[in-house]
Amino acid sequence: MVGILAPMTEGQQQKKVILSGMQPTNDLTIGQYCGALRNWVELQHEYESLFCVVDLHAITVRQEPAKLRKRTLDVAAMYMAAGIDPDVSTLFVQSHVPEHTQLNWVLTCLTGFGECSRMTQFKDKSAMHADNVNVGLFTYPILMAADILLYNADLVPVGEDQRQHLELTRNLAERFNFHYSPTFTVPEPFIPKVGAKIMSLQEPEKKMSKSDPNEKATIFMVDTDEQILSKVKRAVTDSGTTIVYDEKRPGVANLMTLYSITTGKSNAEIEREFAGLGYAEFKDAVGHAIVTFLRPVRERYVAIRSDEDALKATLKRGAEAARERARKVLRKVYKKTGFVEF
């Protein structure tokens, strides 16, 4: 973590700031690893990077406290196992930096009720969790804005489901800057390299999800070799017999995507490799390719996670570095808002 705390060189100061995080609501999936984590690992050397485990966001849905604590550490360990270097990036847990919630309140008082009510994710999640439609679920995008603006992030990696939230963040930054004088960087969306979308093994028409109630549908990063092979063996295909990429045959297409990601082979090469062979041979090859691809990451994860004291110390140092930045921004915000200095 020395790299974070040391004075930045002129070259480092010119780097743009990028921030991202994941919720510790379940184990991370192969889709999150390929779609986000591997990109983060590359980005950390090009940008001044902050990566956090967003545990505050997780409690908009009811969580078991012991599981939330465990999964928060699990996710942080998986970040590191995937290649996030805490000596290069700032790695921390969101709730360890109280300035997130302090800035959240100021921004909440700048946000219109109508702005929050238009958020499509609130409508979707309200339908999914009808027994717990809480105010936190409604104001979740404001906390996300605080996460971003607290570090004056220039860029935020976002998928389609978060674009609306980032637009609100931009509006709040501009609104505060207009009313109180320039304070926040207005962030831009960062569109990462388009990776292949990994779909559910059981319902290949929909995206693979860590919250899928059917665990056979999802390959988790912590799955054992046996679990991976079993899940792939039971993956949905179709009534055909040939191994050919066709979006009208989403089950086979998804398995080909997984094989392509884990071996680097093109669809044409895969089709030639399995010409004349059946689903059994193909699934066996896909399963073993995924096992080979994920095993090194899982082994690093087990090693990192087994030393919980060292992991917590790393997160503590990351939180201290994050708070050092966050305090400076919050101090400006509080002064401009009119609060008496503490």
Question: Which stretches of 129-224 are DSSP H helices?
Answer: 135-149, 163-180
Return the residue matching tokens 């679990």.
227
**Length in residues, the chain:** 342
| Active-site residue, 336 included | no
| Active-site residue, 123 included | no
**Amino acid identity of 92?**
F
Assess contact for 318 and 92: CB atoms under 8 A: yes
Q: Which of 210, 233, 316, 336 is catalytic?
A: 210
Q: Report the alpha-carbon distance of residue 79 to residue 209 in Å, rounded.
A: 18
* Measured CA angle at 316 (ends 311, 322), to 5 deg: 125
> Which of 249, 212, 248, 252 has its CA nearest to residue 232?
252
Assess contact for 147 and 94: CB atoms under 8 A: yes
Assess contact for 288 and 228: CB atoms under 8 A: no
Question: Residue 102 burial (CB < 10 Å; 0-12/13-18/19+)?
Answer: middle
Q: Report the alpha-carbon distance of residue 325 to residue 294 in Å, rounded.
A: 35
Question: Residue 259 burial (CB < 10 Å; 0-12/13-18/19+)?
Answer: buried
Rg (CA), the chain: 22
Assess contact for 258 and 270: CB atoms under 8 A: no
Q: Which of 16, 70, 207, 336 is catalytic?
A: 207
| Active-site residue, 335 included | no
**What residues are annotated to the active site?**
125, 207, 210
